[in-house]
């Protein structure tokens, strides 16, 4: 059975829960802004991502409150002062960030409430967040309002002016190490995700070559009842069907046995060996 919601027929009950639980995991922007009098504000937004590198653009979306129809203070602030710091949220500060998300009155400084520390930015008025290992100083180029009703998003289009990275989260090559960074992500309801060795794995996709694609696999492999779509995709990431070499392990095996063996090899990351069993 498939559950459907026809939005065109007004079937929107539970839509927030579905969207926020389906489009996951989401990164969390911890956004620091000031109002026109320079009063600081800090709030998290998981309707957030990076959308351009040149120019470097990130977008987050303060949504109009469904209950009260009010706008978020962050939105009011970026309308008044077109600047913000976007910081990323790690496990060490996730509880403080959650606390900063409470609906405090306008003018309340969530840095004080959350215990996070303000540090001066170099190019803009809103403060950076000391405890976050990555802070982006941004200019707000545009705000796109997506509707007037409760639940309507507002795309805040922020251009990065300056990046600050704590070197503690870099590996020996100077690249951000996900296990040192320990970024936290947002799922639906009260769920958050951690970045652990168990939760991450690599998919090798050398950009120097183009995979042949599943449509180009030999029929006996493509129509396998044993190999999954994922496993076929690993095989089809090879540029060409490899040249067959002499191999004892292939001999005296039924087609089914070859597929089972290949499956095992693929699970060990041995895609070339799997190919040799199958051809
Ligand atoms: C992890 C997390 C992610 C959130 N993401 C969003 C979001 O994307 N959009 C939104 O409008 N509110 C989001 N919220 C709720 C806001 O942070 C909350 O409404 C906050 O009070 C807004 O603060 P402000 O009025 O000072 O801007 C999120 C809350 C948490 C804890």
The answer to whether the beta carbons of residues 64 and 152 sit under 8 Å apart is yes
- The answer, yes or no, to whether any atom of ligand 1 lies below 6 A from the CB of 64, is no
Q: What are phi and psi of 242, to 5 degrees?
A: -65, 160
- The answer, yes or no, to whether any atom of ligand 1 lies below 6 A from the CB of 61, is yes
Q: Mean pLDDT over residues 16-27, rounded? A: 98
Q: Is the pLDDT of residue 138 over 90?
A: yes
Tell me how far the alpha carbon of residue 99 lies from the centroid of ligand 1, in angstroms.
10
pLDDT of residue 249: 82
Which of 35, 62, 156 most suits a substitution to test ligand 1, by most atoms within 8 Å of the C-beta?
Answer: 62
- The answer, yes or no, to whether any atom of ligand 1 lies below 6 A from the CB of 101, is yes
- CA nearest to 235, candidates 197, 201, 192, 278: 278
Q: What's the CA gap between 186 and 193, in Å, rounded? A: 6
User: Which atom number of ligand 1 is nearest to the Cα of residue 44?
Assistant: 17
Q: Is the pLDDT of residue 183 over 90?
A: yes
Q: What is the CATH number of domain 7-193?
A: 2.30.110.10
User: Which atom number of ligand 1 is nearest to the Cα of residue 103?
Assistant: 21
- CA nearest to 139, candidates 82, 198, 178, 91: 82
pLDDT of residue 260: 96
Q: Give the chain's largest Cα–Cα span.
A: 81
Q: Is the pLDDT of residue 187 over 80?
A: yes
pTM: 0.93
Q: Where are the domains of the chain?
A: 7-193, 214-278
Q: Mean pLDDT over residues 232-249, rounded? A: 91
Q: What's the CA gap between 119 and 20, in Å, rounded? A: 32
Residue whose CA is at the smallest distance from ligand 1 atom 5: 45
**pLDDT tens-place string over residues 89-135:** 999 999 999 999 999 999 999 999 999 999 999 999 999 999 999 99
**pLDDT tens-place string over residues 139-178:** 999 999 999 999 999 999 999 999 999 999 999 999 999 9
Q: Is the pLDDT of residue 15 over 80?
A: yes
Residue whose CA is at the smallest distance from ligand 1 atom 23: 43
The answer to whether the beta carbons of residues 29 and 45 sit under 8 Å apart is yes
């Amino acid at each position: 059975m498939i559950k459907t919601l026809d939005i065109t027929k007004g079937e929107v009950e539970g839509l927030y829960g579905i969207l926020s639980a389906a489009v996951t995991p989401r990164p969390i922007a911890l956004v620091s802004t000031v109002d026109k009098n320079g009063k600081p504000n800090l709030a998290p937004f998981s309707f957030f991502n990076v959308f351009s590198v040149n120019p470097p653009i990130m977008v987050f979306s303060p949504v109009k409150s469904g209950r009260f129809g009010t706008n978020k203070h962050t939105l009011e602030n970026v309308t008044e002062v077109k600047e913000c710091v976007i910081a990323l949220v790690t496990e060490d500060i996730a509880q403080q960030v959650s606390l900063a998300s409470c609906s405090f009155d306008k003018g309340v400084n969530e840095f004080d409430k959350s215990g996070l520390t303000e540090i001066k930015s170099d190019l803009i008025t809103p403060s950076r967040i000391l405890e976050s290992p990555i802070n982006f100083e941004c200019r707000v180029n545009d705000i796109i309002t997506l509707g007037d009703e409760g639940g309507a998003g507002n795309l805040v289009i922020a251009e990065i002016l300056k990046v600050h990275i704590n070197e503690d989260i870099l590996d020996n090559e100077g690249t951000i190490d996900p296990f040192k960074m320990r970024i936290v992500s947002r799922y639906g309801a009260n769920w958050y995700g951690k970045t652990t060795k168990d939760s991450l794995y690599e998919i090798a996709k050398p950009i120097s070559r183009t995979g042949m694609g599943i449509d180009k696999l030999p029929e006996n492999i493509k129509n396998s009842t044993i190999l999954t779509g994922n496993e076929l995709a690993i095989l089809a990431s090879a540029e060409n069907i490899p040249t067959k070499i002499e191999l004892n392990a292939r001999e005296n095996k039924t087609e089914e046995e070859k597929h089972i063996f290949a499956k095992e090899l693929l699970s060990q990351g041995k895609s070339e060996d799997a190919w040799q069993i199958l051809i």
